[in-house]
Structure 1
Amino acid sequence: MASQRTSRPASTQQTFGSALLVTGTEQLIAERIVAERVTAARRAEPSAEVTKVVAVELEGNRFAELTGGSLFAAASIVVVEDLANLSQDLFDAVLATAKDPGPELCLTLVHGGGQKGKGLLDKLKKAKVEVAEAAPVKAWELPRWVSTEARRLRIQMDAEAAQALVDAVGHDLRALAGAVSQLGSDWQDQTITAAMIQRYFAGRADVTSFAVADDIMAGNPGQALEKLRWALSTGVAHVLVTSAVANSLRGLGKYLDARSARLPEGQLAREVGVPPWKLKDLSRLSRSWSAEGISQAVQAVAKADAQVKGAASDPDFALEQMLLAIDRAHRVGRD
């Protein structure tokens, strides 16, 4: 039976015997929707087998094998990510399964936004498969989002502090979430105020993680390294730097993919997930970056992100090596 679009939280919805389409450019929100659904399904059926797979890996009968039941578990939880790159040969199979998952299957399909794979999206929506939107949070809604994030983590933070955090960190949700978590860890059982945030992020008005990202993306590794060292010395969390650089690379990658469609400026900005004024910066950067270079740079950021979260003994050095690796990747485009 096809699932219906609903606004109820995933944790209260039927999980097995249903399919959910998660679509939108905001990766953090999409990840949380998927995680909440998987958790709800495992709560309903603790013995269920969980499989997460990228769409391009679904070759041959792989999708049928994953969704057709398991020899080792009575129920299956299947998450298919990056649906935009699903082979067209599998469109009919995915659509048929999403329309009628069967009582022992919890199916989640994740599409990161954009025009690629839109034909399948339209068919899924027409079949009334349940849809969860992972749309970017508008700039004026970010303080409220920060307040909600603080409540989710049981951190006390007033509205003025939420606005101060947005002013200090920027508009990247992952960076904001990391900052809220860090503040809560450093000031446990205290109400976070704007004054605390201003002290915590002292010096960030001139040197932020986004300033580091801007310099390395523009091909200025010397300036990026200088700003990185100053930022770290003033208390900027390592994870905020990797998050800012990753956000810049994602935006440029989406721009390179979408610009050939010759869309109007407003629509192009929505496809890329940036405000319209940011398109000029992306256009300038695109002249010296190649798709291969971006791919290499993303790998460097992923490695550094793992290192600063505990895989390396010297997180400062890990970030410096990341910037140098990104500069080498940038030269792939320039050369």
Structure 2
Amino acid sequence: MTPAPRRPAARTASAIPQISWRAPQPAPIVLVSGPEEVCAERATAGIREFLRAEDPSLEVSDLRADDYAPGSLFAVTSPSLFAEPRLVRVTGVEKCSDAFLTEALAYLESPQDGATVVLRHTCASVRGKKLLDAIRSGTGGGVEIACPAIKRDSDKFDFAAGEFKAAQRRIAPAALRALVSAFADDVTELAAACQQLISDVSGDIGEDVVQRYYGGRVEASAFTVADTAIAGRYGEALIALRHALASGADPVPLVAAIASKLRTMARVAGSREPARELASRLGLKDWQVDRARRDLAGWSEASLGIAIQAAARADAEVKGASRDPVFAVERLVTVIATRAPYGA
């Protein structure tokens, strides 16, 4: 009998403080965990700025856990002649060498005074789990900064809203939605766009500002294609699709965005719950529920089912099941905009 494949062990409960990546603070050991790189970079940069503000003589060293020279961790954390504070940034802990794992576990038992060691683990593998478990048990006096993946539309909306809140800037809800839609495929680009608006624009940020800065991107976004198709505006949907493709849009995220809106419509369809209660139950935002309910105008259970099936087919085709991914997207847009099987 073939044994069942082993699954990664579930994450154990953490006994150390959990700190937001938006407000990082130093500790002898700082575990920056999770796959969202933009948040991890912000956390690490925030710790550096915090320490440098306390003492401009801060020494910063970088190590790679997967290409580790034995003795390096102890060397860069040891006090110098003038006892300057030290920050050691370690990347690649999810693929660390045996030498690093052994020395990191030993270091936890006796961290150096004046040293802050930041360990970056993407959680892409269980490699280094023994080290993570030791840190989370409290050994070494560490803290953890979790950076979970930002994938859902509501997560991206929260992320962007947090960028403006952290900068104490106001942005209109419609402007925020337009911005998130324009950069829905790349959180790093979304973060950069938020920071550009914060830096360049004085006063409140309205939808006109987003259009002025990123109008072409907004018009060509996957969600614009989806919105026009779902509204039944066939001609506009095809124009938006061709504009998006001409602007370099990848068919895969185009289909993913369309499928996401269809799934939200299906989840909301038939419910008479208040938007806030339904949004809370489904893990959505109030405005997403309201938008889905507006989108459902003119749709039937049968036509929505046809559209969802077409989206599933297109998803497979743009990922390799067809030699013509562009045609697969065009057919999907046709099915959605006409609310009928292709060629009917």
TM-score interval (norm. to shorter): 0.5 to 0.7
- Within the candidate set 129, 147, 150, 1:134 is matched to 147
Which of these residues, 161, 165, 175, is aligned with residue 189 of structure 2?
Answer: 175
Aligned to 2:124: 114
- Tell me which of 59, 65, 82 is aligned to 2:75: 65
Contact 2:65 2:100 in 1 (8 A): no
- 8 Å CA contact 1:51, 1:77 repeated in 2: yes
Unaligned runs of 5+ in 1: 211-225, 232-240, 249-276, 287-335
Partner of 2:46: 36
1:190 aligns with 203
1:79–1:93 distance in 2 versus 1, CA, 3 Å? same
Between structures 1 and 2, the one with greater helix share: 1
What SS is found at the alignment partner of 1:77?
A: strand
Deviation at 1:116, TM superposition (A): 4.1
* Letter matched to residue 193 of structure 2: A
Query: Is the partner of 2:84 in helix, strand or coil?
Result: coil
Q: Distance in 2 between matches of 1:88 and 1:119?
A: 11
Distance in 2, Cα, partners of 1:178 & 1:50 = 25
TM-score (norm 2): 0.55
The DSSP-based 3-state class of the residue aligned with 1:51 is strand
Task: Report how many residues are paired.
Answer: 227
In the alignment, what sits opposite 1:94? 104
- Paired residue for 1:27? 37
Structure 1 pair 48–160 and aligned structure 2 pair: CA distance change class (3 A): same
Counterpart CA distance in 2 for 1:19 and 1:282 is 46
Mapped to 1, the partners of 2:91 and 2:23 lie a distance apart of: 23
TM-score of the two chains, using structure 1 as the length reference: 0.56
Deviation at 1:153, TM superposition (A): 3.5
Q: Structure 1 281/119 Cα, relative in aligned 2: closer, same or farther at 3 Å?
A: farther
Shift, 1:228, TM fit:
9.2
Aligned residue identity for 1:104: G
Bigger Rg, structure 1 or 2: 2
Unaligned ranges ≥5, structure 2: 1-13, 224-241, 254-311, 322-344
Name the amino acid aligned to 2:220.
Answer: V
Aligned partner of residue 46 in structure 1, secondary structure: coil
Deviation at residue 10 of structure 1 after TM alignment: 7.5
Structure 2 SS opposite 1:109: strand
Cα offset, 1:97, TM superposition: 1.6
**Does the 8 Å CA contact 1:53/1:79 hold for their aligned counterparts?**
yes
3-state SS, counterpart of residue 57 of structure 2: coil
> CA separation of 1:11/1:4 partners in 2, compared to 1, >3 Å: closer, same or farther?
farther
Taking only the aligned residue pairs, the percentage that are identical comes to 25
SS of residue paired to 1:132: strand
